[in-house]
C-alpha cells in the first residue's frame, strides 16, 4: 500500500467519465449522420418527383401541352419555377 505521511493514498477512477464522453460524442456523431442521411433522402425524393413530373409532361402531345397552356420548351421552367423564381 502506498502511503503519504502515514495515510493511504487515494486513487480516483476517471475511466467512467472518459467513457461517458466517448459515448456522448458517438451519440452526437450518429445523430448528425442520421440527420444528414435524412436530408439526403428527402432531397433525392424531391428531385425524383420533379423528374417524374417532367417525364409525364414530355410524354404528352403538343396539343395536350397547349391545352395546359404549356409549350414543350417551357416544361423545365414550369416544373422548376419555384426554384428559379420564374413565373
pLDDT digits (tens, 9 = 90+) for 10-26: 666 555 567 778 888 99
Does this model's pTM top 0.75? no
Residues 6+ apart with CB under 8 A from 60: 68
Distance CA 35, CA 73 (A): 37
Cβ contacts of residue 3 below 8 Å, gap of 6+?
A: 9
pLDDT tens-digit readout, 40-58: 999 888 888 899 999 999 9
- What is the distance in angstroms between the CA of the first residue and the CA of the last residue of the chain? 84
Q: What residue spans define the domains of the chain?
A: 15-84
For position 5, what pLDDT does the model report? 64
**Which has the minimum average pLDDT: 37-41, 57-61, 62-66, 77-81?**
77-81
Amino acid at each position: 500500500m502506498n502511503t503519504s505521511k502515514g495515510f493511504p493514498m487515494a486513487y480516483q477512477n476517471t475511466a467512467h467519465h472518459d467513457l461517458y464522453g466517448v459515448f456522448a460524442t458517438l451519440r452526437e456523431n450518429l445523430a448528425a449522420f442520421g440527420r444528414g442521411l435524412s436530408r439526403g433522402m428527402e432531397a433525392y425524393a424531391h428531385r425524383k418527383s420533379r423528374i417524374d413530373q417532367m417525364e409525364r409532361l414530355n410524354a404528352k402531345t403538343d396539343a395536350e401541352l397547349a391545352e395546359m397552356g404549356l409549350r414543350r420548351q417551357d416544361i423545365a421552367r414550369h416544373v422548376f419555377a419555384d426554384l428559379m423564381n420564374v413565373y
